[in-house]
Structure 1
């Protein structure tokens, strides 16, 4: 996914964080690239280091369409949920797949629906790559 990095900073209690802008929202998340990277456009891969727990950090979305937004001390990702045959899940964030681990059962009809996932910003990582 192509994002715009506005700035990269580190606070004493956190990893390197990037303030980013996407076509569907703006937030701050963990940056796993060069901490001296200049502001600008980067192709990134998203990872989430938290398990999807229905009713706790995941719920049905109130609307369709990808979104990224701050939500207090967490980040809210709205995407299309797809379940895999091997018991994992993939959140489609505007064409960028994010592999998720699942903790506990999910509702039967959740596959193929829009969900909101609430994750601490330090547990969402962006890995830049070159095309």
Structure 2
């Protein structure tokens, strides 16, 4: 299986005022409402998915050391919090190992200190910046 794909339960929720499709995603590590990037007829049931976060990671602002060493996902107001293992990539980006998935992240400048690579982190981003893409294996 691809490293960036995870199996989750997906159910429809009311569309946004702009008509964007949203889903409630239930995983082993938490539940949240996110944008659905697949066809509307695909909503419902189990899906392998890829997570997309369209928000730069800024250490100390929206990213910090994890409070506990366990994967997690939860809503915090209009924000989503992902807890996982943060690692840096050779091209200047980062990944968050989240349950059985890798989420690609863009780093704000300046990026997190090198010493945090491979450690637990919590990333909090606007709910509107998170999308879920169905993935066929």
* 6-15 vs 44-53, greater mean Cα deviation: 6-15
- Select the structure that is richer in helix: 2
The more displaced of 71-80 and 38-47 is 38-47
State the shift of 1:83 in Å: 0.6
Counterpart residue number, 2:104: 99
Tell me the C-alpha RMSD between the 2 structures: 1.4
TM-score (norm 2): 0.89
What are the within-5 Å matches in structure 2 for residues 60-99 of structure 1? 60-99=65-104
Structure 1 residue aligned with 2:51, among 46, 54, 60? 46
Task: Tell me the alpha carbon deviations over residues 10-61 of structure 1, each in whole angstroms, 9 at most, x when there is no partner.
Answer: 1214632111100010111111011233421011011110000111110111
The Cα offsets for residues 64-114 of structure 1, whole Å up to 9 and x where unpaired, read as: 121110011010000100111221101111121111110123123100111
Unpaired runs of 5+ residues, structure 2, are: 1-5
- Aligned partners of 2:97, 2:76: CA distance in 1, in Å? 20
TM-score normalised over the length of structure 1: 0.93
Map of 1:129 onto structure 2: 135
* Runs of 4+ residues over 3 Å off in structure 1: none
